[in-house]
């Protein structure tokens, strides 16, 4: 399946017209992710992006299925960080709201409900492919390949700054943090960069100053925050600034980095390396990919929700875009048919270029889209893409190393099931 999204390509240009004849019952899409709590920046901005997508689709007339147009409704539930709340929300979305596609962040709040969603044959998208297993055939990771993309920044850094040889890492001990830690371990080892210290902390733990002090004690060239939540990324970065660190910082995300610049300095944040670009990045204008007109989406998002852009603002939308194309190709919303339409060609044009369905070696099932991912660096106070790294290429060279690190932290799919 290739080509562009009809709605996203044309709605912003004003060339779409409404179709008022033959409008049928709405198709409901569920959104079950943190709208509050420590992971809010990986849930709420995604819901905001989805609201734009729904408005654009409905402005175009809705989903075209079987000769009729269906309006789309987005039904949002805040999972917070509470598995019990997530279970109640999932059942309400499926049983009471009749959602036919479910968007989730994944991780600890998805695990208690994934069996129920599988039994109900609800096609579900997660941002964490580490949620996948052979027992979850209707669970897909179509837009984000966390934490595998983190290898691209480490590989770029090793080539761009070969004098950096020592790294200290920290990570929270949960379903986002531990797979990320395993991936960064493997990436730094493959690059010949020695890990001189490692801090693991509880997701609700504070005390960034003490963590940074322990990380700085062995004299690292690089500090790596792994996939810490936004509040901790900010606290750790500010603590490193206060401690006088002048080396390289690597992090999966840097949500609201302008605030970090204001709280530290532009000079301190220069070179900060992470994985998520702003969508007005000049490098995105040069690429033809599935998610059309990124700058237009960026402008609309910031017009409606100023100051809230995060790593996930576009990711749930990218999953919706892929689903939309598959629904219209399949001629219906039945999960089996839609999933088959998604996989029909094997290769898909994603946000950052071509990707293939894969993941069997790591997740036990080929339900993750794996391709290229950008390396993002703060330059002159602005996030800029400096390279697109090949996740597939890195895995071909270092897959055994990554699997060993995943096993060491109990993060392979069969270990997580136990």
C-alpha count within 13 angstroms, C-beta hemisphere, residue 90: 29
Other residues' Cβ atoms within 10 Å of the Cβ of residue 346: 10
3-state secondary structure at position 196: strand
pLDDT at residue 246 tops 80: yes
pLDDT at residue 15 tops 80: no
Main-chain phi, psi angles of 203, to 5 degrees: -60, -30
Instruction: Delimit the CATH 3.40.50.2300 region(s) of the chain.
Output: 6-146+289-372, 150-274
pLDDT at residue 99 tops 70: yes
pLDDT of 348-362, one tens digit each?
888 788 899 999 999
Examine residue 249 and say whether the peptide bond preceding it is cis (omega within 30 degrees of 0): no
Helix then strand then coil, % of the chain, to nearest 5: 45, 20, 35
Q: What percent of the chain has pLDDT over 90?
A: 77
pLDDT at residue 103 tops 50: yes
- Does the structural domain 6-146+289-372 have CATH classification 3.40.50.2300? yes
Q: Which residue has the higher pLDDT, 242 or 63?
A: 242
- At 418, the pLDDT band (50, 70, 90 cuts) reads low
Q: How far apart are the first and last CA of the chain?
A: 36
pLDDT of 290-346, one tens digit each?
456 777 888 999 999 999 999 999 999 999 989 998 998 999 999 999 999 999 877
Architecture of domain 150-274: 3-Layer(aba) Sandwich (3.40)
User: If you average pLDDT over residues 20-32, what whole number do you get?
Assistant: 79
pLDDT of 191-224, one tens digit each?
999 999 999 999 989 999 999 999 999 999 999 9
pLDDT at residue 2 tops 70: no
How far is 75 from 98, CA to CA, in rounded Å?
10
pLDDT of 346-405, one tens digit each?
788 887 888 999 999 999 999 999 999 999 999 999 999 999 999 999 999 999 999 999
């Amino acid at each position: 399946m290739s080509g562009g999204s009809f709605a996203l390509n044309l709605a912003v240009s004003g060339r779409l017209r409404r179709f008022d004849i033959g409008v049928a019952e709405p198709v409901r899409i569920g959104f079950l992710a943190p709208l509050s709590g420590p992971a809010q920046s990986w849930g709420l901005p995604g819901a905001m992006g989805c609201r734009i997508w729904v408005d654009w689709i409905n402005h175009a007339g809705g989903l075209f299925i079987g000769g009729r147009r269906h309006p789309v409704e987005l039904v949002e539930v805040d999972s917070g960080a509470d598995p019990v709340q997530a279970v109640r929300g999932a059942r309400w979305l499926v049983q009471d709201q009749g959602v036919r596609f479910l968007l989730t962040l994944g991780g600890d709040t998805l695990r208690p409900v994934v069996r129920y969603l599988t039994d109900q044959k609800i096609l579900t998208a997660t941002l964490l492919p580490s949620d996948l297993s052979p027992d979850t055939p209707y669970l897909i990771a179509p837009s984000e390949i966390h934490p595998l993309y983190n290898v691209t920044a480490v590989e770029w850094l090793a080539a761009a700054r070969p004098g950096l040889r020592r790294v200290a890492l920290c990570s929270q001990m949960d379903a986002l943090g531990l797979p990320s830690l395993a991936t960064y371990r493997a990436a730094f080892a493959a690059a010949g960069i020695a890990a001189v210290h490692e801090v693991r902390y509880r997701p609700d733990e504070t005390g960034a100053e003490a963590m940074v002090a322990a990380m700085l004690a062995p004299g690292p060239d690089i500090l790596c925050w792994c996939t810490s939540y936004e509040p901790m990324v900010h606290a750790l970065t500010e603590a490193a600034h206060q401690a006088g660190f002048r080396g390289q910082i690597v992090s999966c995300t840097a949500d609201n980095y302008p605030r970090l610049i204001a709280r530290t300095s532009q000079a301190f944040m220069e070179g900060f390396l992470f994985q998520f670009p702003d969508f007005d990045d000049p490098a995105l204008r040069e690429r033809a990919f599935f998610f059309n007109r990124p700058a237009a989406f960026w402008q609309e998002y910031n017009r409606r929700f100023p100051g809230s852009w995060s790593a996930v603002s576009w990711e749930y939308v990218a999953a919706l875009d892929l689903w939309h194309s598959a629904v219209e190709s399949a001629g219906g919303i039945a999960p089996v048919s839609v999933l088959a339409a998604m996989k029909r060609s094997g290769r898909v044009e994603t946000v950052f270029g071509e990707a293939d369905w894969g993941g069997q070696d790591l997740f036990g099932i080929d339900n993750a889209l794996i391709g290229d991912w950008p390396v993002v660096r703060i330059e002159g106070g602005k996030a800029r893409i400096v390279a697109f790294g090949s996740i597939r290429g890195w895995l071909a060279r270092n897959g055994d190393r990554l699997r060993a690190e995943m096993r060491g932290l109990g993060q392979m799919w069969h270990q997580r099931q136990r």
